[in-house]
Amino acid sequence: MEKLFFALLNRSIAAGFLVLALVLLRFLFRKGPRWVFCLLWILVALRLLCPVSLQSPLSLAPEIPSLEEAFSPGAGEEVTPGTLLTEDVSPDLTAAAPEPSHSPDWGILLSRVWAAGFGLMLLYAIASFLFLRQRLADATLLEKGIKGSQWVSSPFVMGLFRPTIYLPYHLEEDCRKYVLAHENAHIRRGDHWLKPLAFLLLSAYWFQPLLWLAYILFCRDMETACDEKAVKNMEKEERRAYSRALLQCSLGRRSLTGPLAFGEVGVKERVRRVMDYKKPRFWVILLVLAAGFLAGVCLVTDPPESKASPKAGELSTVYLGNAPKTVEVAQSLPYPAGLSYASVQLQTAREPYGLTVYLKGQGQGSQEAFRNCAQQAFDRIGNLGVIAFWSKEPEQELARFTRQELDNQEDLAAAVFQAIVEQNSPGEQTDSLVRCGSFVELGRDKVLVDSDPPQDGSVILYGIAMYQAFACSGEGLESWEGSHTPAILTFQEGEKGYVLTDYWTPRDGSFYLSDIQEHFPQNLAQSVLNTQDYVLMQMQDCYSQAISRGGVNPTRLIPELLRKVESSPASSSSPGDYIAAHPDEWNQLLYLGDSTLDYVFDAFLKGGQTGLRGQLLRQLLDELAPESAIKTAAETGQDYFDAWKTHHDHLLEQNGEEWMQQHYPAFWKMKQLAAA
């Protein structure tokens, strides 16, 4: 309930600026037609009802800070070492936890007050309706849709599906036709639906004074709009008689219609407008609509989210000051298979904060997988300096990273690439070849210099190295030479970056297994022996490098490879036979990875992919998409395309637009077309 209340509170503040703008427009265009303002008040309802943020570069809506964080129990409190952010951390870790704060939870308190107010408003509406219906139980049917009652002091309309006009018995006959003209205008406009819905919105936002003002002005504009509709074809004498009818129905009487029916409101202003009524000019209507539309675009929408980095001295997030936010980040990290989030604990009192994430499950995970988790944590928690991953059972540290280490990863990755290319290239190199390197890191060790305090020394990387050299042309790639083997790379870290000091690979033949068991840590040996598990991923990495550096156009290469696969055997109708007849071309399609996926995606967007070509495209999508959602879709009969789109919608939400444009241009192109 707290989340709902704070969502409504933020929306009500944003809608308040729109209300002020419409009040100003209402003053500036005092003589404008009121039906236009009835339409503009609907913009306020849209602002209050829309559950998502509509963004526009034209928005003038001010940025509203998160009130949920401001009223959270831990807001403004300093975090101390050992403070637990969740309660399911191991018992031996809770000893350092400080006494819990006894400050009131304003979020819960305010949300309960809101719920009570909302309930009272609904109770008032229901009670008023039931009371009015009881008083009108003996009303006399005068004609179809019209009833008279001694309890009615002022004409009104009541009812949603069968709206009925109720008239007082004392109403003079010559006033009756004008009253009916007004009330029938309400029914034709659908006001018997709009007013209850407006009151329901007001009940949900009862705490916002500007929305009470908006509701009052909306009701007045609704009545005035019906007057204008009723008198637009009347002469001056008829308008005078209409005004007398308004006065007769209002003087000395109180309306008991309640919030769900229509009574007579703002009679003085209405009489004046009826007597001064002139058919509005077209340009006035157009001007009011344009001003209202501009106000809607500027205040119904929010400014686009800024992608700018925080300024020096500012924090990019406040997660560590708010336990639920930090837990949310920790829960959403992409942990290795077999491991899942258990709990988190703060380890330092001041910035840069240290955070330990405890995991449960039987998996181990590679250093690369944990590094990916750490990178996302550092990106989303701006004041985090160190993050450690621990297994709860058995309790052991799985990985630890500092922000500085991850900041140096780009330099280290460049050094690894250079080492693989230099160590595997022949002595006499050919400039026409594009040389590529890929490394899957399975673990690392750091050797510190024996000093006080210890200083960075060597970095030892354990993993699998792939080297590929390609002869490239605008039309294709030809693999020239390559290797794929376990490797241990040792770098000296210094002021000039990372310098390779040792590049070790196992000997061939009977020495291969013993070399790996001798040089690799015991927990990595089995992963190193399964080199085939990494072939496709690393080949795709090398092909991606070759395409970007070799000037290869994949949009020409991929169709040509598909045509070669389709060329034979002509006597077969099974796509498997065509693939078996052209293994090299098919493997190249797989190695092209994301480029092939983008081509397949574009092809499906254009439609008409049937027959052999359609079957081959679906086979490519099946083999290239490792997401479990797509494999499940194949088994359940769900469309591949929809499953792939669902998965990438999730990636878009997690990583943002810039990342998606870089990694999945075809998907992004589809999103842009859909938006247009």
- Hey, where are the domains in the chain? 107-290, 319-402, 408-529
pLDDT band with cut points at 50, 70 and 90 for residue 660: low
Question: For the domain bounded by 319-402, which CATH number is listed?
Answer: 3.30.70.1350
By C-alpha distance, which of 660, 656, 670 is closest to 304? Answer: 656
pLDDT band with cut points at 50, 70 and 90 for residue 468: very high
Instruction: For residue 471, give the amino acid letter.
Output: A
Residue 631's pLDDT is what?
47
Which residues, listed in sequence order, are joined to residue 400 by a DSSP beta bridge? 388
Q: pTM for the complete prediction?
A: 0.44
The answer to whether residue 134 scores a pLDDT higher than 90 is no
How far apart, in Å, are the Cα atoms of 210 and each of 12, 41, 117, 321, 336? 9, 13, 16, 33, 51
3-state secondary structure of 392: coil
Q: How far is 133 from 330, CA to CA, in rounded Å?
A: 56
The answer to whether residue 576 scores a pLDDT higher than 60 is yes
Which two structure tokens, joined as six digits, stand for 403? 């922000």
Mean local confidence (pLDDT), 310-324: 53
> How buried is residue 618: exposed, middle or buried, by Cβ count under 10 Å (0-12/13-18/19+)?
middle
Residue of higher predicted confidence among 276 and 70: 276
Query: Which stretch, 46-60, 104-118, 400-414, 596-610, has highest mean pLDDT?
Result: 104-118
**Geometric angle at alpha carbon 352, from 348 and 358, rounded to 5°:** 55
Which residues, listed in sequence order, are joined to residue 500 by a DSSP beta bridge? 491
- Residues 542 and 530: beta-carbon distance below 8 Å: no
- Max Cα–Cα distance, the chain, nearest Å: 114
The answer to whether residue 512 scores a pLDDT higher than 90 is yes
Residue 364's pLDDT is what?
73
